[in-house]
Structure 1
Amino acid sequence: MAIRRGSHCVYDTRYHLVWAPKYRKWVLQGAIRERVREVFCEIAAHHGFEMEELEVDKDHVHLFLSFPPRYSISVVVGLLKAVSAKEIREEFPEVRKQLWGGEFWEDGYFVWTVGDKVTADVIRKYIRFHEAKKRGVDQLDLF
């Protein structure tokens, strides 16, 4: 990721974001998993966000992305969650049986910024390890 330029700024803002479906239900599988990935990538492209890594697990998502400083973290997360929830509920109405109450995502999210101790490589390895862990790769490979 290179330093990016906006009309009034130069920036390198990168965030590791994590959140889960309501009740931490295992609904992010199969076609729903793929559609969530597509929607996140479409939103990122439309708004000029750079998606460095994306993992959709059965009960939560990890995103490592950069976006211009004109966007707050809460606005970006709200946008990703709201649009994806609307798309999934419309395209997969059967999901309502598992996620009652009209909500798809849990309230809140986790955010981790890249800094001195948390480098971009550590976050990339963490997200890749998360996927590899499902295939039985040992945690010692992380660091």
Structure 2
Amino acid sequence: MGAIEKDGYTLYCTALFFSPQGQLLGKHRKLMPTTSERCIWGQGDGSTIPVYDTPIGKLGAAICWENMMPLYRTALYAKGHIEIYCAPTADGSKEWQSSMLHIAIKGGCFVLSACQFCQRKDFPDHPDNLFTDWGENKEHDAIVSQGGSVII
């Protein structure tokens, strides 16, 4: 599950892992926030690169752009043969889906990539709202993030 985690005065883009009984197995903080994310989220330190042995298989994750970092994937694979590779993202492009196919083939694993879908109406009206001046996105039903989740 993706979450925004607060620790002290820093926010982290984080993936949380739970057992079938609902117990927290652990977490992974995104190593390097991408572009404007760096204004909001802190950097992970690499100590949380996870692979968890679960009843349905070995589970690991890379958050969004981490999937484009070959050395991150190498470090993840070195922790054990991942059978279920989770890739939460905000990128619903066809290129992203091609990358997920590549990871499934090269990693020899199933890839689950959850991508958010949201519309302008999902955000509150506020003068500081990031989506207030997005031209065509002023329409109440305008799509802000198009989704694009895949299971490969």
Task: Check whether TM > 0.5.
Answer: no
Scaled by the length of structure 1, the TM-score of the pair is: 0.24
Scaled by the length of structure 2, the TM-score of the pair is: 0.23
**RCO higher in 1 or 2 (8 Å CA, sep ≥ 6)?**
1
More strand by share: 2
